[in-house]
Amino acid sequence: MNLKKFLSIVFIVCFSYLFLHHFQLLIYSGNFFSKEVNAYAYSIYMPHGLRILFFLIYGYWSIPGLFIAHFVASLGTHYLATFHGLFSLIIGTFCVPCGALILEKTFKETENKFNLIYLLSLTLISTFINGFFTNFYRFLTIFEKDLTKFLDEFLGYFVGDISGVILIVFGYLIIKRIFLLSIK
């Protein structure tokens, strides 16, 4: 891969992720639609769907763009200066590639990464990695070993990430199918 192609992948991944992350924050703050959407904004966490989509399209080449995007997205907060912030940055960046590595050991044929079984498996594994490890550290520190908060947050991550994948990846596949049919 040449440098121009690598930089273009990094730019596309980083810009798209930051745009969607900002859009998600606007919805969450209640400034974009209305106050009613505010409570349900993170039940569909679209950036995780974008993480999986970029990994399916670009493979491991999406990691630098995702890392830069996660880093830039967390610059506006004091969260990055804490160990938990750095830990969350690493988990958010590498949850999908780690899930893919696990699947590469179990699936013999992973050439078609858009097949339904692979896509569902990658979604479930990466969502579990993201939700469990991010919240387990919080359970030990911030939540003061409150199991109810841990389970609530973990379930929130799980539902939000899976619904974000459904919206983004399946939306991409539908648009791609419509576009390919319109060319014929």
pLDDT in tens, 137-154: 777 777 677 788 888 888
Per-residue pLDDT at 109 = 66
Sign of the torsion formed by the C-alpha atoms of 51, 173, 166 and 17: positive
What pTM did the predictor assign? 0.86
Tokens 């930089």 sit on residue: 7
**Using CA atoms, how far apart are residues 152 and 126, in angstroms rounded to an integer?**
18
Give the model confidence (pLDDT) of 2-40 as tens digits: 999 999 999 999 999 999 988 888 777 766 555 554 455
**Comparison of pLDDT for 6 and 76, the residue scoring more:** 6
- Which residue in 103, 163, 84 sits closest to 127, CA to CA? 163
In DSSP notation, 3-34 reads HHHHHHHHHHHHHHHHHHHHHHHHHHHTSSS-
Burial 127-145 (b: 16+ CB within 10 A, else e): bbbbbbbbbbbbbeeebee
Residue 24 tokens read as 């998600």
Mean pLDDT score, 39-61:
85
Q: Tell me the H-state helices in the chain.
A: 3-29, 35-38, 46-58, 63-73, 83-106, 116-140, 147-183
Give the model confidence (pLDDT) of 94-153 as tens digits: 999 999 999 888 876 667 777 888 899 999 999 999 989 888 877 777 767 778 888 888
- Which residue in 133, 110, 137 sits closest to 122, CA to CA? 110
- Which residue in 18, 26, 21, 24 sits closest to 68, CA to CA? 18
Tokens 């109810």 sit on residue: 148
Residue 100 tokens read as 């893919």
